[in-house]
Structure 1
C-alpha cells in the first residue's frame, strides 16, 4: 500500500539520484509536447470528441497508477542515461517525419509517442526502462487507432447477425452490409461496426492481463478472449435489433438499441469477460510487479548499462536528432509540383458526355485536391460510366489522395462497402451499395511518378519516398464507376476506348 500513498510521490522524499533524471525527463516530454503541439492537440481532440476514443482519457491516470505500483522497487535502482535508446528515439522521429511527408496523421502521432517512450531509457537507463516496460508499452494506447477496421467489422457483424437470424428462423437476405427481412431493410453502418468497443476492450484486456496474471499463456488467452468477445457481442447486438424490429417494430428497436445496446450492453459483456477470467487469476494481491534485485543482476541489462550516456549528452542528442528531422521536414514541405491552371475531361472516342442522373447521388471525395473533374459518359451500346479525376501538387495533411474517408466511398455518405469487385490492372475495384438497394462498382487508380496503383499503402510509400528525396511529383486519382453493373462490363469498354489509361491520366493533368 505504501506505493500509492502521497508521501511516496513527495518530491522532497525522492531518492537523490532520481531528482535530476526525473526533471530531465519532464523537460524532454515538455519540449516534445511543445514542438509537436499540433499532433498532441489532434490526439486530445479525438480522445474528447470521438466516442471511439473516449476511453483514452483514462489512460494517463492508468499510466500513473502502473508506475506507482512499481515505485517501491524502482526507487532501489539508480537512473543513468543510455545512448542506445537514441536509436528508437531516432526511429520515432523518422516515423513522425514520414507521416508528415505522406499526410498520415496516425504515423505522426505514433512517432511522437515512440519518442516519448524512448526518452525514458535515454534519460533513466535500461534497468529503469525494463522495470517500466509495461507502462511504457501501454503508452501506445494514447494513439487513436482502429478506424481503418470499420469496413471489415461491418462485414463481420452483418455475417454474424445473419448466422443468428438463420438459427432463430425466419427469412432474411444478406447483401454486403445490408440485411433484408420482413421487418425492414437494415444497414450495419459505421457506427454499428463495434470498433469503439473493440478498441476499448483491447486496452482493458491488456491492462487486466498484466495486472491479474503472471503466466504468459493465461495472459495470451485473456487477450484473445478480449478480442473475440466484443466482435461476437456486436453481432448479437445487430441480431437483437433486427429481431426486436420483427416483433415490436422498427421504431421500438431503434430506441432500444440506443438505450440498451450502447455501453450498458457492453458493460455487461465486459463484466462477463472479467468473470470468465477471474478464476484463472494467478497474481497474488501482494505480489511485486518488478524485482529490483533481479533487474540489477540481469546480464543483458548489464550490457546495456555499460553504454552509459551523461544526462546533458542525452538531452543534446535528442535535440540534435529533432533539429535534423524538422529541418529535413521543412525542406520537403516546400516541395510542390507545378500544375496547369485549368484541366478538362477530354473527348473519348465512341463515347459522349451526358447529364448526371444517378439513382442515388454519388460523388467521390477528393479533399484538398488542387483540381477536380467529374462527368458521365455513355456509348452507343448503352454503357454508362461516371468519371472522377483529381490532381494534387503534393500529399500533405488534409490533402491526401488516399486519406481515410477519401475516394469512392466517402465516410458518412449513403454508400457502404459491399465487397471487392472484379480485377482490373493496377487498380482497386470496390462494390458499394446504397439503400434501395442500388449497387455500384468503383475502380480506383492512383498515379504518382512512374507508379500506377490501386493500393493506398503503395501510394503513401511513394509519397514518403518523393518527399524524403525532395522530389516534386504530382499525384492524380482516377475513379471509374458504373451503376448496377457489378461485372464491370461498362468500365472495361470505357478503358478499351481510352487505350493506355495511365497515359490518359497524364494527358488530363498535362504531366508528361
Structure 2
C-alpha cells in the first residue's frame, strides 16, 4: 500500500477569468435583472409593439447588437476585469427603479432597467471595455419609451405652423387651441398628427448617424439641430397640405391624402432629405477604427477584483430595491364606505342633460361620483370626485388616460385653461364643437392640494417609500362654454360658494 500523498487540486471549478468567465457572470446578472423585473420588461415591449409612436424601439436591440459586432475586432485585443466602482452605477439604477415604482412612473422604471444592465457591464467587464462600448451602452436608452410629454406642445406648434401657412396661402381659417376651422370643415391636430412619433424616431436615428458618420462634435450638433427642426417644420407643412387639399377638393380626399403621406411617405422623405443634405459633410470613413484598444486598456485598474464576488454584489443590489418597497408598503387606510357629493350654498343639484356627454376617467378608483349644479343666475357646473385608498399600477391618480379627457371618448385635450392657484386648468373639446373647461385639484395623503401632475407623483413616491398615508383624491369642477355664459365665470362662482376645497378633500377620503 503506497503512502504517497497526492497533491490537492486547488483549481476553481469555474474559471471566471478571461472573456468566457466575465461574460458568464454578466449573463447571470443580466438574466437575474430581466427575470426579477420581468413585469417592467413585458410592459416596455408591449408599448413597442402596440404604440406606433414607439415602434422604432423594436429595432434598437438589433442596432445595439450591430454596434457591438462592429467593435469586436478591438474588443478581442482587450482584457476584461471586474471593477467595483461599476456597482455604483448599477446601484443608481436599482435606486431609480425603487423611486419609479414608488411614484408609479413607468418611464423611470424602464430607464432604471437600462441603467442596471449598463452597471452590470461596467462592473463585470471593467472601465476599459465600458469605454469601448460607450456608445452602444448609451444608445440602449432609446429602448425606453419616452416623449409622450411633448405631444401637447407639438400639437400646438403644428397647429400654429399650419395656421401661418394657411394665412400666407389666403385660406380663411380660425384656430382655437388645436382646432382649425375653415369654410370646408373643422380640423383637429390630434395626438397622432402632432409629429411626436417622427420627432422621437428622428432623434434615435439622428444620434445613430452622428456616431456612425461623424467625428466632429460641431458637425454632430448641427446635424441633430437640422434634422429635428426639419421634422417639426415638415409636420406643420403636412398638416397645412391636408387642410389645403380639403379646401380645394373635399374632406374625404384630404383624409386619404393625409393617410398616404403620413403613413408611408412622410418620414421616408424627411430621412432622404436629411441624409442627402448631410452626406457631403460626413467625416468618418467606413474603415476608421471605433477606438484604440491599447489606449483604453491602459485605464484598466492595477488590482483585479474577484469576478464572482462582484457578481454577488450586483445580485444583492438588484434584489434590495423590490424588497425595500415590499417592506415599507403599509396597509391602506380605509376610505369612507360611501362618497357623497356636497351641498353647496346657492347651488342646487340638477338633472339637466349635458350638451355632449362627459365624465372624467379614473381607472381603478375606489369611489367615483359626479353631479350637476345650477345657481339662480343659470350657471351650470359639473363636480366629480374620485378617491383611492392606495395607488398601484393601472389605478393611479394621474397617468395616461386618467383625468378630464378620456382617450376612449370623443373628448380631446385642446389647450391649457385658466385655473386658481393649486389647480390644473384644461380646455377639452367634443364634436359640435362643444368646448368645456375643467379645473382639477389633486391630493395624496396629508399633502397640500395641487394641480401639478409631477407633484402628485412625488407625493405618491414619498408616501409609498416611507409607508405613509396613501389615500388619494381628485376633485374636478367643469363647465361648458356657451354664448353669454363663459365657463370660467361659472367655475369661479362655484368655487367661491363651495368654500375650502381642502376640507372637501379631507371629507372625501375620511381624514376628517
Partner of 1:496: 496
Cα 1:82–1:172 change in 2 (3 A) is: same
Matched, 1:442 2:443: no
Partner of 1:407: 403
Q: Does the 8 Å CA contact 1:155/1:176 hold for their aligned counterparts?
A: yes
Moved more, 265-274 or 307-316: 307-316
Moved more, 405-414 or 438-447: 405-414
Moved over 6 A (4+): none
How far the C-alpha of 1:356 sits from its partner, in A, is: 4.7
3-state secondary structure, aligned to 1:260? helix
Larger Rg: 2
How far the C-alpha of 1:23 sits from its partner, in A, is: 1.5
Matched, 1:114 2:115: yes
Partner of 2:465: 468
How far the C-alpha of 1:457 sits from its partner, in A, is: 0.2
Partner of 2:228: 227
Per-residue deviation, residues 343-375 of structure 1 (Å, max 9, x unmatched): 111211111111152212211111111111111
Partner of 1:344: 340
Q: Does the 8 Å CA contact 1:372/1:388 hold for their aligned counterparts?
A: yes
Match of 2:369 among 365, 373, 377: 373
Matched, 1:361 2:362: no
Q: Does the 8 Å CA contact 1:480/1:491 hold for their aligned counterparts?
A: yes
Per-residue deviation, residues 396-419 of structure 1 (Å, max 9, x unmatched): 211110112211122243223232
Partner of 2:47: 46
Long gaps (5+) in structure 2: 1-15
How far the C-alpha of 1:509 sits from its partner, in A, is: 2.6
Long gaps (5+) in structure 1: 1-14
How far the C-alpha of 1:291 sits from its partner, in A, is: 1.1
Cα 1:464–1:356 change in 2 (3 A) is: farther
Partner of 2:12: none
Cα 1:486–1:26 change in 2 (3 A) is: farther
Distance 2:354 2:293 in 1: 69
Q: Does the 8 Å CA contact 1:102/1:396 hold for their aligned counterparts?
A: no
Distance 2:425 2:30 in 1: 44
Per-residue deviation, residues 38-82 of structure 1 (Å, max 9, x unmatched): 111111111122211111111111101111111111221111111
Moved more, 55-64 or 435-444: 435-444
Per-residue deviation, residues 155-193 of structure 1 (Å, max 9, x unmatched): 111111111111111211111111111111111111111
Moved more, 224-233 or 368-377: 224-233
How far the C-alpha of 1:307 sits from its partner, in A, is: 7.1
Cα 1:171–1:20 change in 2 (3 A) is: same
**How large is the Cα RMSD of the aligned pairs?**
1.7
Per-residue deviation, residues 317-368 of structure 1 (Å, max 9, x unmatched): 1111122212111124453221121111121111111115221221111111
Partner of 2:188: 187
Q: Does the 8 Å CA contact 1:161/1:236 hold for their aligned counterparts?
A: yes
Q: Does the 8 Å CA contact 1:177/1:416 hold for their aligned counterparts?
A: no
Distance 2:425 2:454 in 1: 15
Matched residue count:
493
Partner of 2:415: 419
1:270-419 to structure 2, matched below 5 A, reads 270-297=271-298, 301=299, 305=301, 308-419=304-415
Q: Does the 8 Å CA contact 1:48/1:54 hold for their aligned counterparts?
A: yes
